[in-house]
Amino acid sequence: MSGLQLVSPRVKGIRVSSHSELQSLAAQITQQGALQPFKEVIDVSSGDLHKAGMKPVSFVRQVLSVCLYPELLQDKDLPLDVRLRAQRFLEVCDGGSIGSYTASSGMWYVRQSMAEFITRRDAGVPSYAKDVFISGGSQKALMVIVRLISTVEGETQTGVLTPLPCPHTIPALLDEAGVTLEPYKLMEDQGWAVDRKELHRALKAARGRCNPRAIYISNPGNPTGHVQDRKSIQEVIQFAAAERLLLLVDEVYQDCVFGPGTQFVSFKRVLFEMGKEFSEKVELVSFHSLSSGTMGECGLRTGYMELINIDPEVKHFVDTCLCTDICAPVTGQLALHIMVNPPTPGDPSYDAYTQEILLTQATLSQNAQRAQEFLNDLPGMSCEPAMGGIYLYPRLRLPPEILKQAEVSEVEADVLYCQRLLKEEGVLLGAGCQNGETTTEHHLRLCFHVPPDTLEEVLARLGSFHLRLFDGLPHADGRVKDTEAGQKYKRGMEPIWRSVDPEPKC
């Protein structure tokens, strides 16, 4: 590994994204190729599902193929519903081509389909196309809203209450928008629950530093995997109403819920079930994406947001801001339509589509259980089970010797752990999200939405590295590694299952 340097996430005293630095280190290692002791770098730090080896949904790709090459409309080898869906899409595109621009907020035909989907999902709570805005991904949509609430130069800076931990992209997004991130801690010992007392504490602290105007929520949680129940959602809504805060709700993993007795309930549905006192008062923006969940179409770069109780003039500014991108990719807009309007019983593609989705959901559920059990068996590591989403967020309790190494290297201990794991075993994990603050708590982010064989390889490499790191060293709690138990990881554990049951464990 000559010339390869561990990268410090501090540049001239300014914290740089640890995720970006680890990605750069992974690129350096990959370029060295045969010089490494491992075959390839495996990236499980973020949810790029197709890069990880998950297969795209056939119906989506078939329909888009016909849209891209309309001569395929005459191909009788393609299912009839594929050709009919593509023909309809071409009819609603200007010039009969997906190479045409659309309205900046998205094709009305697709926005209407989003509204119909939301109405079905929320048991009849109405949704309207005029409130739905399509963008180049949910992050783009969030950036538009955050910039709209940011203050002008010279005024007290706007603050957004943000969970700790939060999605690893959020701190940089808020910083770019000129908005202060004000953290509120999720309760790890309660399955990463949102605690109302902690919200009030964070708000009180924020008011001494900025002008808090919004609260950001991730449900299902990224990267924690928690799923809020109705009671928790009601408490957050009541808090937002009492404090006059805009609710920003990231719900991109709503079709990835698999915990026993757990189901996804949208913030909008709960809001309207609470009566007019709240449903006509609380300002809510919810986000969904094509990149996340079972679709995993990250490269198509399309998502949408629904604006509830937002002033019409503000919606006009949202539309104006989206004009800077002209429009979201048309292929992504059409794929969004498919995501919320899949084949139905009786359609030629229904059986194949359903089987693919069930297989993906089963893989997700079984991978989550497999990885969580494995991580909890490692010394100095504990992991709350994921009820939804695509990440596990285990906690590291590292020995004092390793903490000292991190201090000398001027990096967080979990970042140093990820750097060494990447260098020695070629596995890229995400380091815990510190929201720009130094912390004594250290975590890892592991995306388990990967093929089962890939997960087994990741766990084998991770286990080997972790036990070498801990060999002979006391835990943070004073215990010494059980050498005999550790040998099963060094020899290689037999997988719990060899093939995926097509029935999801939901």
CATH of the domain at 408: 3.90.1150.10
Rounded CA separation 148/13 (Å): 30
Rounded CA separation 363/504 (Å): 8
Rounded CA separation 417/383 (Å): 16
Tell whether 113 and 208 lie within a shared domain.
yes
Is residue 73 situated within a structural domain? Answer: no
**Do 304 and 106 contact (CB within 8 A), yes or no?**
yes
Tell whether 116 and 257 lie within a shared domain.
yes
Element of type H or E holding 287: strand 284-289
- DSSP single-letter state for residue 96: G
Rounded CA separation 333/336 (Å): 5
Tell whether 284 and 231 lie within a shared domain.
yes
Tell whether 473 and 396 lie within a shared domain.
yes
Element of type H or E holding 238: helix 230-243
Tell whether 271 and 377 lie within a shared domain.
no
Tell whether 242 and 320 lie within a shared domain.
yes
pLDDT at 32: 81
Residue with tokens 């260098």: 423
**Do 490 and 468 contact (CB within 8 A), yes or no?**
no
Helix (H), strand (E), coil (C) string for 414-446 = HHHHHHHHHHHHCEECEECCCCCCCCCCEEEEE
pLDDT at 7: 37
Tell whether 115 and 237 lie within a shared domain.
yes
Is residue 456 situated within a structural domain? Answer: yes
Tell whether 256 and 376 lie within a shared domain.
no
Tell whether 113 and 238 lie within a shared domain.
yes
Collapsing DSSP states into helix, strand and coil, what is residue 221?
coil
pLDDT at 506: 35
- CB neighbours of 172 closer than 8 A, spacing ≥ 6? 17
Is residue 268 situated within a structural domain? Answer: yes
User: How many C-beta atoms surround the C-beta of residue 196 within 10 A?
Assistant: 13
Q: Which of 288, 311, 328 is the last residue of a domain?
A: 328
Is residue 63 situated within a structural domain? Answer: no
pLDDT at 434: 57
Is residue 499 situated within a structural domain? Answer: no
Is residue 231 situated within a structural domain? Answer: yes
Q: Which of 328, 345, 366 is the last residue of a domain?
A: 328
Bridge partners (DSSP) of residue 359 are: none
Rounded CA separation 445/447 (Å): 7
**Do 40 and 426 contact (CB within 8 A), yes or no?**
yes
Q: Which of 328, 347, 382 is the last residue of a domain?
A: 328
> In Å, how far from its chain's centre is CA 294?
12
Nearest to 328 by CA among 145, 140, 134: 134
How many domains does one find in the chain?
2
pLDDT at 121: 97
Is residue 374 situated within a structural domain? Answer: yes
Rounded CA separation 183/164 (Å): 6
Q: pLDDT tens, position by position, for the chain (506 residues)?
A: 233 333 333 333 334 578 889 989 888 888 887 667 788 999 999 999 999 999 999 999 999 999 999 999 999 999 999 999 999 999 999 999 999 999 999 999 999 999 999 999 999 999 999 999 999 999 999 999 999 999 776 688 999 999 999 999 999 999 999 999 999 999 999 999 999 999 999 999 999 899 999 999 999 999 999 999 999 999 999 999 999 999 999 999 999 999 999 999 999 999 999 999 999 999 999 999 999 888 999 999 999 999 999 999 999 989 999 988 899 999 999 999 999 999 999 999 999 999 999 999 999 999 999 999 999 999 999 999 999 999 999 999 998 988 999 999 898 999 999 999 999 999 999 998 655 555 678 999 999 999 999 999 999 999 999 999 988 654 444 444 444 444 444 444 443 333 344 444 33
Rounded CA separation 13/47 (Å): 30
Tell whether 315 and 363 lie within a shared domain.
no
HSE-CB for 129 with a 13 A CA cutoff: 11
Element of type H or E holding 161: strand 158-164
**Do 409 and 6 contact (CB within 8 A), yes or no?**
yes
Collapsing DSSP states into helix, strand and coil, what is residue 251?
coil
The CATH number that applies at residue 232 is 3.40.640.10
Measured N-to-C along each axis, helices 452-470 and 483-491 cross at an angle, to the nearest 10 degrees, of 140
Structural domain of residue 207, as residue ranges?
Answer: 102-328
- CB neighbours of 240 closer than 8 A, spacing ≥ 6? 215, 246, 247, 282
Tell whether 379 and 264 lie within a shared domain.
no
For Cα atoms 274, 247, 123, give the angle at the middle one, nearest 5 degrees.
40
Is residue 76 situated within a structural domain? Answer: no
Nearest to 225 by CA among 390, 17, 468: 390
Cis peptide before 220 (omega within 30 of 0): yes
Tell whether 168 and 294 lie within a shared domain.
yes
> In Å, how far from its chain's centre is CA 348?
32
Amino acid symbol at 99: G
**Do 419 and 41 contact (CB within 8 A), yes or no?**
no
Nearest to 85 by CA among 343, 266, 262, 257: 343
Rounded CA separation 251/117 (Å): 14
